[in-house]
A and B are shown apart, each in its own frame.
Chain A
Amino acid sequence: MIVVFNENATAKQIQKVTEKLLDKGFDLHRSTGSSQVVFGVVGDTLRVDTRDFEVLDGVHEVIRISEPYKLASRSFKKEDTIVKVGKATFGGKKIGMIAGPCSIESRDQIKKIAKMLKKSGTKVLRGGAYKPRTSPYAFQGMGEEGLKYLREAGDMNDMAVVSEVMDRMDIIPALKYVDMIQVGARNMQNFALLKELGKINIPILLKRGMSATLQELLMAAEYIMAGGNHQVILCERGIRTFETYTRNTLDISAVPVLQQLSHLPVITDPSHGVGIRDKVAPMARASVAAGADGLILEVHYDPDKAFSDGAQTLYVNQYEQLVKELKIIASAVNRTL
């Protein structure tokens, strides 16, 4: 951590800051310049709120050098973390594919989709049972009954299953059915939920909040990991920008940046990222080219009749075509699919 003083900081002000830093057990490297004094602060600065020092008289700026997240950080663990979900892996050479409908609508619907997805080699089935809809009047999901159908559909087709949990009360019931729990974008900073997910022992698919910085996403991952659950997959799903043509702007640069900052696997969600069906495949191809460790896509046999997010959901034949294209791109970036 670096403390920069104002040009007119008095000896007394500098002395006060020195005392406070020494009291907290830090070592100082002072550097008195011709106009400004700068302190290099050495020690466990992760625990410090830099604002505590910024408000002190005479202080111009406090700059953190080390990241505020530790367990999620690449400097904490050099090698890539590989998260296993059923027969799929995320973070290794092989790219993991997650696909399925936005919502589980009926037993027949999820079974039919699972069977179709199996043909293209998809190993993880998605399906929402608790839906965080923008409107309280929109379809809210089938709840636990939906999870039961999802599990059945997964088992019949040798696929692992993932579904979103919105409330910490739903975690225990969900554990009976799912192989991975998804934290939705709207819940990325639901710290009570994240803490509970840290106590369980199945992978967590953590989606980036639509207005969250990458640092905030990594801090959310840190919450889960601090509880002891280190199986976290990070997911870029589009952020809010000034552009309104697409539903969100898929931040593909998040992939290489997160992979540099963290050892956790990084996947993208092009369906939510753009929100328009015919733009989903190009963004999926770009994600794999950018080095994503996996993709999560919304697929339905009849998107126009889907209960939610139909406009961004791929037809099964579009998905099959996309998988073929992704295999070619994957080999170009030394990956497999």
Chain B
Amino acid sequence: MYLLNQRAEQVIEMGKVKQKMEIKVFDPKRERDIFVNMTEKNPGPLHVDAIVRIFERIIDESRRLERIEANEKNE
């Protein structure tokens, strides 16, 4: 829980930087890199597919957080 929230704080910071640099929230290449990175480092016994599914949710929620933060800033 602590680590997830720490990650979320960094996501918010990243979002601010992305907005300043006018980079889109959705970066497919970066997301793919994360999945490759995670699956390569996976020691098991969780299957790599399971790792992808878990990280999909983490990234989906991160993107949602970035969107909400950006919307609040714009209002």
Q: Are B32 and A11 in contact (CB under 8 A)?
A: yes
A 9-47 to B, binary, CB cutoff 8 A, 1 in contact else 0: 001000100110010010111111010000000000000
Q: Are A30 and B49 in contact (CB under 8 A)?
A: no
Q: Are B53 and A34 in contact (CB under 8 A)?
A: no
Q: Which residues of B contact A22 (CB under 8 A)?
A: 25-26, 63, 67
- Contacts A19-B26, A22-B26, A27-B67; is A32 near B52 (CB within 8 Å)? yes
Contact residue among B56, B63, B67 (Cβ-Cβ distance under 8 Å from A32): B56
Q: Are A27 and B52 in contact (CB under 8 A)?
A: no
Tell me, yes or no, whether B57 is within 8 Å of chain A by CB.
yes
Tell me, yes or no, whether B9 is within 8 Å of chain A by CB.
no
Q: Which residues of B contact A15 (CB under 8 A)?
A: 28
Q: Are B60 and A29 in contact (CB under 8 A)?
A: yes
Q: Are B67 and A18 in contact (CB under 8 A)?
A: no
Tell me, yes or no, whether B7 is within 8 Å of chain A by CB.
no
Closest to A12 in B: B28
A28-B63 Cα distance, complex, nearest whole Å: 9
- Range of interface residues on B (Cβ < 8 Å): 10 to 19
B 14-53 to A, binary, CB cutoff 8 A, 1 in contact else 0: 0000000000011010001000000000000000010011
Q: Which residues of A contact B52 (CB under 8 A)?
A: 32
A28-B26 Cα distance, complex, nearest whole Å: 11
A11-B64 Cα distance, complex, nearest whole Å: 21
Contact residue among A27, A31, A32, A34 (Cβ-Cβ distance under 8 Å from B64): A27
Closest to A21 in B: B26
Q: Which residues of A contact B57 (CB under 8 A)?
A: 29-30
Q: Which residues of A contact B28 (CB under 8 A)?
A: 11, 15, 18
Q: Are A18 and B53 in contact (CB under 8 A)?
A: no
Contact residue among A25, A30, A34 (Cβ-Cβ distance under 8 Å from B56): A30
Report B27 CB to chain A, min CB distance, Å.
Answer: 10
Q: Which residues of A contact B56 (CB under 8 A)?
A: 30-32
Closest to B59 in A: A30
Closest to B32 in A: A11
Q: Are A28 and B25 in contact (CB under 8 A)?
A: no
Closest to B64 in A: A27
Report A1 CB to chain B, min CB distance, Å.
Answer: 15
Q: Are A32 and B49 in contact (CB under 8 A)?
A: yes
Report B61 CB to chain A, min CB distance, Å.
Answer: 9
A30-B63 Cα distance, complex, nearest whole Å: 12
Q: Are B60 and A27 in contact (CB under 8 A)?
A: yes
A29-B64 Cα distance, complex, nearest whole Å: 10
Interface centre among B26, B52, B67 (most CB of A within 10 A): B26
Q: Which residues of B contact A28 (CB under 8 A)?
A: 60, 63
Report B49 CB to chain A, min CB distance, Å.
Answer: 7
Report A310 CB to chain B, min CB distance, Å.
Answer: 64
Report B68 CB to chain A, min CB distance, Å.
Answer: 9
Q: Are B53 and A32 in contact (CB under 8 A)?
A: yes
Interface CB pairs A-B, < 8 A, 22: A11-B28, A15-B28, A19-B26, A22-B25, A22-B26, A22-B63, A22-B67, A25-B67, A27-B60, A27-B63, A27-B64, A29-B57, A30-B56, A30-B57, A30-B60, A31-B53, A31-B56, A32-B49, A32-B52, A32-B53, A32-B56, A34-B49
| A interface residues, Cβ below 8 angstroms from B | 11, 15, 18-19, 22, 25, 27-32, 34
Known A18-B26, A18-B28, A30-B56; 15 more pairs at CB < 8 Å: A11-B28, A11-B32, A15-B28, A22-B63, A22-B67, A25-B67, A27-B60, A27-B63, A27-B67, A28-B63, A30-B60, A31-B53, A31-B56, A32-B52, A32-B53
Task: List 5 tightest A-B contacts by C-beta distance, closest first.
Answer: A30-B56, A15-B28, A27-B64, A22-B26, A28-B60
